[in-house]
Amino acid sequence: MIGFVQSLGASVLALSRMIGGIVLFTTIALRWVLVPPFYGRQIVRQMVDIGYYSLPVVGLTTLFSGMVLALQSYTGFARFSAEDTVATVVVLSITRELGPVLAGLMVAGRVGASIAAEIGTMRVTDQIDALDTLSTRPMQYLVGPRIIAGIVCLPILVLIGDIIGVFGGYLVGVYNLDFNASVYLSKTLEFLEFEDVFIGLVKAAIFGFIITLMGCYHGYYSGRGAEGVGKATTNAVVSASILILIANYTVTALFFG
């Protein structure tokens, strides 16, 4: 019993220490984002890494999600003769939920892991200390550009993913479920509001922040050796994914609650 209470207490302490650490880390990182020197080249490089190279993953994920969504909602709505709502269901689900969440989770796996591995390796091989000795603040040089790139790139990725997902639904709707193409398109746009897309993009920016922050944080405080880097990578992906789901619920509840 005492053992249980002790380990519970220890976990609570460790958790609060981690939350405190992350808040402090975030404050320092954001502070340095606002102060020169600005590492423009680093930001561009990270945008290419985080945004451009994530396009195939995000595109494929949303394409197939849009397709399966059209199939499934058709099956469901056909049972009470509401087949013509398929287009609306697809576009609303994609823009409000599936686009941002699926893109967020896929990018968390791809980018969160690689950021944690890269920064973690720099930590265990003393490259981060070397930055300090070479008149460069590691927080400013490594962390800032990644976080900026994450916040900027995720909404763009999600917007593209939204379009591809809706297109996936259209393909299935028109070629498989025999909807009339122009009717499907007009149904897609009929009930879509600016807010639906906008909320999705706001979520995406938050997810981009979460993913890059978790990658940087776990990499920066990586334990020693290859084992430490491996753990940092896993922790970055797991914590980013969980935080994305929590943030998604919170934002939805705040905006639509």
Partner 1 sequence: MSENKTQAVKIEISNLKKQFGNNQVLTGFNLSIRKGESLCLIGTSGCGKSVALKCLIGLVSADSGSIKVDGHETIGQSRAENEALLRRFGMTFQFGALFDSLPIWENVTFRLRQKEKLSKKIAREIAGDIINQLGLAPHVLDLFPAELSGGMQKRAAIARAIADKPEILLFDEPTSGLDPITSGVINDLILNSVNRLGATTLTISHDMASVRQIADTVAMIHQGQIIWCGPVADMHDTGIAEVDQFVNGKAYGPLTSNPPDTNVAQHSEMPV
Among 6, 8, 15, 226, binds partner 1 (CB under 8 A): 15
Q: Could you tell me which stretch among 9-17, 51-59, 86-94, 170-178 binds partner 1 (CB under 8 A)?
A: 9-17
CA distance 60 to 230: 27
User: Should residue 81 be labelled a site residue for partner 1 when binding is judged by CB under 8 A?
Assistant: no
Q: CB-wise, 129 or 195, nearer to partner 1?
A: 129
Instruction: State both tokens at 92.
Output: 């609303």
Does 133 bind partner 1 (CB under 8 A)? Our answer is yes
Q: Which stretch binds partner 1 (CB under 8 A): 81-89, 97-105, 179-187, 229-237?
A: 229-237
**Contact between 136 and partner 1 per CB under 8 A:** yes
Establish if 26 lies at the interface with partner 1 (CB under 8 A): no
Asked if 130 touches partner 1 (CB under 8 A), the answer is yes
Q: Any contact of residue 135 with partner 1 (CB under 8 A)?
A: yes
Per CB under 8 A, residues contacting partner 1 are 10-11, 14-15, 18, 37, 121-122, 125-127, 129-130, 132-137, 223-224, 227-228, 231, 234-235
